[in-house]
Amino acid sequence: MNLAEPIRILIVDDHAMVRSGLRMFLIVFDDLVLAGEASNGFEAISLVDQLNPDVVLMDLIMPGMDGIYASREILKNHPEIKIIALTSFSEAQLIHDALEAGVKGYLFKNATANELANAIRAVHAGNTIFSPEAAQMLSRVSAGTSEMVAINFTSREKEVLELMVAGCNNQEISDALTLSLSTTKFHVSNILTKMNVRSRGEAISMAIKHHLVTRT
């Protein structure tokens, strides 16, 4: 895709007022454009096939087919599409299930327009955006589990993983640790390999679930 072209977005939400609000939000940003709207998971799957959007803003709790199942189905046939879960719900299991389904972002509906726009740009660029509030919720609920994962991280990899869990992208991690971007990418790749996961979202979910980081 030409970088000059706007990011095409599909809105999926069962509430017409929410869709309307998101539609108005998109008008403000020249680099974001509405590709279509769906009111449930079934419509979302159908429209993705027709419209091939770049990013899907996915509500998770909807009648008929929820956003978790719809996300899995979409990514089976369109792994290149980025999905951001945009929800009012902060239940730990819901957050975990969304990450397992392959979403690249988890934001709450009280996010500001700029936060949402930056999240869309970040996931479109290949990053994972994980709300700190969501991370804290999942961490608190899973605090009672005794299951641990023994992974031999280096001290630098632990620092990088902590920042990943905090929602930082590669550039932000590089800035925080005074690393080159290529070095940060190298550490992230090593972390994913050691954790035997395919994506940053899976790594973040696993790190929180098994207490692999100390930052909350």
Domain co-membership, 76 together with 181 = no
> Do the domain assignments include residue 51?
yes
Model's pTM, two decimal places?
Answer: 0.69
Beta bridge partners of 106: 85, 130
pLDDT of residue 146: 40
Cα 164–191–152 angle (5° rounding)?
A: 120
Q: What whole-number percentage of the chain has pLDDT above 90?
A: 48
The domain that holds 125 is classified in CATH as: 3.40.50.2300
The Cα 23–Cα 34 span in angstroms is 7
User: 94, 119, 139 — which closes off a domain?
Assistant: 139
Q: Residues 6 or more apart from 3 whose CB is under 8 A from it?
A: none
> Do the domain assignments include residue 215?
no
Domain co-membership, 37 together with 62 = yes
> Do the domain assignments include residue 188?
yes
Please write the tens of the pLDDT for every residue from 27-41. 899 999 999 999 999
Range of the domain at 190: 145-209
The domain that holds 200 is classified in CATH as: 1.10.10.10
Domain co-membership, 81 together with 99 = yes
Q: Are 31 and 121 in contact (CB under 8 A)?
A: yes
What is the three-class DSSP state of 36?
strand
Please write the tens of the pLDDT for every residue from 154-170. 889 989 999 988 888 89
Please write the tens of the pLDDT for every residue from 44-56. 999 999 999 999 9
pLDDT band at 215 (very low <50, low <70, confident <90, very high): low
Domain co-membership, 187 together with 123 = no
Domain co-membership, 135 together with 203 = no
| 57 or 215, greater pLDDT | 57
Flag whether pLDDT at 16 surpasses 50.
yes
Please write the tens of the pLDDT for every residue from 182-209. 999 999 988 888 887 778 888 887 887 7
Flag whether pLDDT at 2 surpasses 50.
no
Average pLDDT in the chain: 85
pLDDT band at 137 (very low <50, low <70, confident <90, very high): low
> Do the domain assignments include residue 214?
no
Which token pair is 77? Answer: 């046939």
Question: What percent helix, strand, coil does the chain show, rounded to 5?
Answer: 50, 15, 35
Domain co-membership, 59 together with 74 = yes
Domain co-membership, 69 together with 164 = no
pLDDT band at 140 (very low <50, low <70, confident <90, very high): low
Domain co-membership, 171 together with 120 = no
pLDDT of residue 144: 47
Domain co-membership, 129 together with 150 = no
Flag whether pLDDT at 90 surpasses 80.
no
Average pLDDT on 140-154 reads 58
Q: Where would I find the beta strands (DSSP E) of 13-90?
A: 32-38, 55-58, 82-87
Q: Are 201 and 102 in contact (CB under 8 A)?
A: yes
> Do the domain assignments include residue 216?
no
> Do the domain assignments include residue 79?
yes
